[in-house]
Every structure is written in structure tokens, then in C-alpha cells.
Amino acid sequence: MGKSTVADEVIKDAKKLAKNYEEQLVEKKKIKLQDIDYAIDKLKLKKQEYLKDKISLLVKTDTSRTNLEIKRKRLKMEQDVLGEIFENARSKLDNVELEKRNIILKKLTSVAELEYIFSNKKDEKYVRNLIGEKYKGNINILGGISTGDSTGKIKEDFTFESILDYVFENNLKEIRDILFGDVEYGFKCSIL
């Protein structure tokens, strides 16, 4: 074997080693790129999940805020309607027919236990005729009577206003149920 043959063999072996090393580098580069792609995909998925959760939270928050606003407006509307009904009832009490008014006044004076009785100016004559000397004057009320003892410390209120307030307050739930039913406020959102 000559020098040239040995040199050719060394070169051939070196080329084989270089080719083998280059193949290993290409394979390592390929694996590294796959790892990078996997890490990028993993980060993308993580970011997508984060964004999905954030959007879901924003949607839920916005839905809650909207539902709260709907409830607030609905309750305001209900309060306005109830206020109108109350004022309408108050107006009807103020303008009740004379015959019915007298029947009511007669019943109220019959249950009054205190010695002084007051009415409004409109009913003064009728109430005075019913009770005589117990009548002590008129006061600013829609109708009915107010009573008191001689000291002024004990009072009974049988005015139309107090009776209406009592009936309205003690039946508010039933009135609401009749007028508005069992209403579900707001809306549900199933996005995300």
C-alpha cells in the first residue's frame, strides 16, 4: 500500500465520519426543531386556554352586569306600577260614594274606644251626628277617623290612609305575584 492509497483511505474515512457527523447534526437539528414546534404548540394551546378562560370570565361578568341592570330596571318599573296603583286606590278612597263612606265611618266610630274623635272636614257633620260630644274637630286626612285620649298620649289611627298603608304593606307580596307573576330576571349565556 502506498502513500496515496493510505491517504485515500484516510480521506475516505474522514468523509465517512464527516457524512456521519453531518447526518447526526441533521437528525439532532430535526429533533430540536420538533421539540421547538412541540413547545410552541404547547404554548399556543396554553395561550388559547387562557384566552378562552378570560373571554368566558368576561362574558360571565358582562352577563351578570346585564342581568343586574335588567333586574334593577324591572324592579324600578314594578315600583312605579305599584306606586300608581297605590295612588289610584288613594284617589278612589278620597272619592268614595257618600253612602259607602257613611257606612265605613259608622263602623269605624263603633270600634273607636278612645274619648276624642277627629275626622276630615268633609265628614265632620256626619261623624259629629254619630258620636256627639266625643267629636273634637277636623284634621287633614282623606277620610276615616283618628282617636285619642284626654292626655293626647294614646292615639288610634283609623284613617283611610293608615288602613290603605296597612293593607298594601301586608299584601304587597300577593299584589306583586298577581301583577308580575314569578318572573325570571335576566338571561343565561352558554357561550364557552
Q: What is the pLDDT of residue 2?
A: 61
Name 115's Cβ contacts closer than 8 Å, sequence gap at least 6: 134, 147, 148, 149, 150
Exposed/middle/buried for 168, CB within 10 Å: 0-12, 13-18, 19+? Answer: middle
Instruction: Give the closest residue to 159 by CA, choosing from 146, 149, 169.
Output: 146
Q: Are 190 and 60 in contact (CB under 8 A)?
A: no
Q: What is the pLDDT of residue 17?
A: 84
Q: What is the pLDDT of residue 19?
A: 86
DSSP state at residue 121? T
Q: What is the pLDDT of residue 192?
A: 41
CA 21 to CA 68: how far, in whole Å? 69
Q: Are 121 and 140 in contact (CB under 8 A)?
A: no
Q: What is the pLDDT of residue 60?
A: 92
Overall residue count recorded for the chain in this entry: 192
Instruction: Give the closest residue to 148 by CA, choosing from 140, 158, 160, 161.
Output: 158
SS3 assignment, position 73: helix
Q: Are 116 and 148 in contact (CB under 8 A)?
A: yes
Q: What is the pLDDT of residue 52?
A: 93
Going from the first residue of the chain to its last (192 residues), give the mean pLDDT of each consecutive group of 10, the final group possibly shorter.
Answer: 74 85 90 92 93 93 92 93 94 93 93 90 94 92 92 90 94 89 58 44
DSSP state at residue 8? H
Structural domains of the chain, with CATH = 92-180 (3.30.2320.30)
For the question of whether the overall pTM of this predicted structure is more than 0.75, the answer is no
